[in-house]
Structure 1
Amino acid sequence: MVTVTPPFSVAETRVHTLQAGSGPVVADTATVSVCYMGVNGRDGSVFDSSYQRGTPVDFPLNSVVPGFQKAIAGQNVGSTVAVAMNSADGYPEGQPGAGILPGDSLVFAIKILDVTG
């Protein structure tokens, strides 16, 4: 659960380890399996959640927004992290389909389930 009191914004991306895992360290270019929830700092709305879909998501870290990579790379598998990312590390041009406007800060809670590569 991620609760954000809008309007929320950050000037620079910040990562906080909520619970440290004991698995292998995630490399910058690894493919990870995660569960996550993303909240828009401007209005506090959940714009994406693998928890709501009920299934983890797998992706290579070099194909996601920079803030997501900054949050996960260097963490241990099994960790839960929170990241508040500025617009430059999220969607600087916005993401209209998700209700994200240019300049919006985003907050994610991410559970790192597994890593390959």
Structure 2
Amino acid sequence: MAQTEVHTLRAGDGPVVAPTATVSVCYMGVDGRDGKVFDSSYQRGAAVDFPLDGVVPGFQKAIAGQKVGSTVGVAMSSADGYPDGEPRAGIQKGDSLVFAIKILSASS
């Protein structure tokens, strides 16, 4: 896939998430090449907190501008994910990634 696509699956009613916010999310990531789940906060049973300016570009594109409480689907190009791959996660160079992300909270 050439370009990252973001779809709001369910719109939340919280504040809009700033591009530099620190967010708390639950998510599941699937490798677009083979359909395997390579990461899931649901499987670990805990939300994940991180600053949006410290993650892969596709994650920032998916979350920034959305409202807290939203569930977002993102299909990210390799360039917005791991362009050189991420061997520990089984992601090969050029793989697109698909995430379902629920935005639980955000703080600036």
Q: Same fold (TM over 0.5)?
A: yes
Shift of 1:11: 1.2
Looking at structure 1, the residues matched to 16 and 107 of structure 2 have their Cα atoms a distance apart, in angstroms, of 11
1:11 matched to 2:16? The reply is no
The correspondence for 1:94, drawn from 75, 85, 90, is 85
Q: Secondary structure at the match of 2:101?
A: strand
1:42 matched to 2:33? The reply is yes
Moved over 3 A (4+): none
Looking at structure 1, the residues matched to 24 and 46 of structure 2 have their Cα atoms a distance apart, in angstroms, of 10
The TM-score normalised by the length of structure 2 is 0.99
The correspondence for 1:51, drawn from 30, 35, 42, is 42
Identity %: 78
Name the counterpart of 2:101.
110
Q: Secondary structure at the match of 2:94?
A: coil
Name the counterpart of 1:27.
18
Which stretches in structure 2 are left out of the alignment for 5+ residues?
none
The TM-score normalised by the length of structure 1 is 0.92
The letter for the 2-side match of 1:18 is L
* Residues matched between the structures, number: 108
1:63 matched to 2:54? The reply is yes
Looking at structure 1, the residues matched to 45 and 23 of structure 2 have their Cα atoms a distance apart, in angstroms, of 17
Which stretches in structure 1 are left out of the alignment for 5+ residues?
1-9
Superposed CA RMSD in Å reads: 0.3
Looking at structure 2, the residues matched to 41 and 28 of structure 1 have their Cα atoms a distance apart, in angstroms, of 25
Shift of 1:71: 0.1
Q: Secondary structure at the match of 1:109?
A: strand
